[in-house]
Amino acid sequence: MKDDFSQDEKNFSKMNQSENSSSVNDDSLDWAKQAYLQLKQKQKEEKELFQKEIEEKEILKTKINTNEDFKSNITVENSLQVSQETEVEDQPQLGDFDDTFTWSAEVLAAQGKKIDQFSLDDIDWLSRLKQGLEKTRKGFVTDLLEKLGDDPLTPEVLDDLETLLLRADAGVSATDQILESLRTKLNEEVVEASEGLRFLKEQLVNILEKPIKDSGSDLLSPQKGSLNIWMLVGVNGVGKTTTLGKLASVAKRSGFSAMIAAADTFRAAAVQQVKVWGDRTGVEVIANESKNADPASIVFDAIGASKSKNIDLLLVDTAGRLQTKNNLMEELKKIRKIIDKLAPKANVESLLVLDSSQGQNGLRQALAFADSAELTGVILTKLDGSSRGGVAMAVASEAKLPVRFIGAGEKIRDLRPFNSFEFIEALLTDR
């Protein structure tokens, strides 16, 4: 541990001497160093604990396989759980002490978190979110800062901003709202470039927050003591089944019991893909692999199983469909009727999974699915490969839907509850 800290101090020394460090003052740099060292220690302790858990599982598996008396005292359910291959997930890693770490720490602090409340998960996620929005940021922030310069805002700058927002797929409604607010402010006072950027961030956050506040729930989470059913819908290729698996992982890590209904019976190998995610996350999958199985009947069985086992969260995978395919959209309505009939007291969410790279086409999907699927929210995926992250604003302002989760990578932890402040900070950072 001492050697690790010594190496970190060398890194800090290099950082202090680099040109990048000129963007933060000495006080904030010292504060960030303290946070980094504490997280370094946390990472070491968590690695040791994780390794100990793996060793204990291996010992238990050996006992089960070699000792008949021991085996007979273990329930079938526990035996299956213990004998299951240990999924060594990609644990969050603390990177270098650099501008990205300092930025991540500042974003957490701006939300009221103290150093001892920082987690490796938080820092790791923010660094990946920032990286995931890089393509959108390069096509937006670089040009924006160039247009802003160091001078006060002008009407001409606002015209340029309109072009940039539309190019990032923020949508006409969100763009008009932002420009109207900025023009009003510009008519009332001289707006310096830095104040203009701060005000822009504030307006973007407000747009994203409005449908979230209107929903009455800042954070979408299963409610203990009752059945929660989340139905995932969307076209093929948006990452729907993968997102479902990641949601199962989030639920398990958060202390909720979960079950999956594999109701996508139209796509070849869809059920097998869901089962792989079930194995990875330790979540039971209700499925019917027979040809032309009825999706609604699978949901029927899954609801019954969820009730009998007091499951907190039932995740329903559905077939990918085009918003123009009426027969498939009718299938969604049928599934929803089954849910409403069998679980009238359940907390039901209908979440549209959108590939952020689809831009305005994604918005059209949201508007088309809104009626048939009774949408309550959106999950944005594939932010790491898109230059159109601005579609989040279009979804919020035009479809009036809250963004509930975002995905920025392929790993099982690369899905998190949506945070408007963090999203906009990552989108508009100049570091």
Please write down the HEC assignment for all residues of 168-217: CCCCHHHHHHHHHHHHHHHHHCCCCHHHHHHHHHHHHHHHHHHHHHHHCC
Average pLDDT over residues 112-120: 91
pLDDT of 108 higher than 80: yes
Q: Is 428 annotated as a binding residue?
A: no
Dump pLDDT digits (tens) for 121-153: 999 999 999 988 888 888 777 788 787 777 888
In the chain, what is the straight-line distance between the N-terminal and C-terminal CA atoms, in Å? 30
308 burial level (CB within 10 Å; 0-12, 13-18, 19+): exposed
Q: What pLDDT does 412 receive?
A: 86
294 and 184 part of one domain: no
Local confidence band at 265 (pLDDT 50, 70, 90 cut-offs) = confident
**In this structure, is residue 423 part of a structural domain?**
no
Residues 6 or more apart whose Cβ sits within 8 Å of residue 311:
227, 257, 258, 259, 305
Determine the Cα–Cα distance for residues 169 and 178; give it in Å rounded to an integer. 14
User: What confidence tens digit (pLDDT) does each residue in 41-91 have?
Assistant: 888 888 888 788 777 777 877 766 676 555 555 444 443 443 343 344 567
Question: 321 a known binding residue?
Answer: yes
Does residue 167 share a domain with residue 79? Answer: no
- Rounded to whole angstroms, the Cα distance separating 81 from 46 reads 22
Is position 209 within any domain? yes
Q: Is residue 20 part of a domain?
A: yes
Judge if 149 and 36 occupy the same domain. Answer: no
3 state SS for 308-322 = HCCCCEEEEEECCCC
Q: What percent of the chain has pLDDT over 70?
A: 85
- Here the CATH number for the domain that contains residue 261 is 3.40.50.300
Is 299 one of the annotated binding-site residues? no
Do residue 84 and residue 151 come from a single domain? no
186 with 275, same domain?
no
Q: In the chain, how many domains are there?
A: 3
- Asked if residue 76 belongs to a known ligand binding site, the reply is no
Average pLDDT over residues 249-272: 91
Share of the chain above pLDDT 90, in %: 47
4 pLDDT above the threshold of 70: no
Q: What value does the mean pLDDT take over residues 359-363?
A: 80
Query: Are 126 and 177 in the same domain?
Result: no
Average pLDDT over residues 182-199: 90
Kindly give the pairing relationship between strand 377-381 and strand 403-407: parallel
Q: Please check whether residue 28 lies inside any domain of the structure.
A: yes
239 is in an annotated binding site: yes
235 labelled binding-site residue: yes
Q: Which amino acid is at 354?
A: L
3-state secondary structure of 259: strand
Residue 60 shares a structural domain with residue 156: no
- 241 and 167 share one domain: no
Tell me the CA distances in angstroms from 75 to 59, 85, 248, 328, 413, one per residue in order: 17, 18, 24, 42, 30
Q: Tell me the residue range of the domain where 210 lies.
A: 135-215
What sections of 18-74 are H helices per DSSP? 26-66, 68-72
At 229, phi and psi to the nearest 5? -120, 120
Same domain, 188 and 232: no
Give the H or E element holding residue 289: none
Last residue of a domain, one of 149, 183, 215: 215
Mean predicted lDDT score pLDDT of the chain: 83
> Looking at the structure, do residues 233 and 369 belong to the same domain, yes or no?
yes
Report yes or no: 150 and 195 within 8 Å, Cβ to Cβ: no
Per the domain annotation, does 221 fall within a domain? no
Q: Is residue 140 part of a domain?
A: yes
pLDDT at 6 (0 to 100):
41
Higher pLDDT among residues 3 and 338, named by residue = 338
Does the pLDDT at position 12 exceed 70? no
Residue 96 labelled as part of a binding site: no
Confidence (pLDDT) at 147: 78
Which of 181, 215, 249 is the endpoint of a domain? 215
Q: pLDDT value at position 31?
A: 84
Among 186, 215, 244, where does a domain finish?
Answer: 215
Q: Are 97 and 200 contained in the same domain?
A: no
pLDDT tens for 297-349 read 999 999 999 999 999 999 999 987 655 567 777 888 899 999 999 999 999 99
* Tens digit of each residue's pLDDT (9 = 90 or more) over 193-209: 889 889 999 999 999 99
Cut 0.85: pTM above it: no
For 410-431, what is the mean pLDDT?
90
Does the structure show a pLDDT above 60 at 15?
no
More confident residue, 8 or 399: 399
Q: Is 347 helix (H, G, I), strand (E, B) or coil?
A: strand
Instruction: Looking at the structure, tell me whether residues 95 and 21 fall in a common domain.
Output: yes
206 appears as a binding residue in the annotation: no
Contact predicate 211/370, CB 8 Å: no
- Residue of 284, 256, 236 whose CA lies nearest to 381: 236
When pLDDT is averaged across residues 177-202 and rounded to a whole number, the result is 92
Here the CATH number for the domain that contains residue 150 is 1.20.120.140
- 376 among annotated binding-site residues: no
User: Chain centroid to CA 322: how far?
Assistant: 24
- The answer to the question of residue 222 being in a domain is no
238 is in an annotated binding site: yes
pLDDT greater at residue 268 or residue 424? 424
* 320 labeled part of a ligand binding site: yes
pLDDT of residue 64: 66
Does any domain span residue 250?
yes
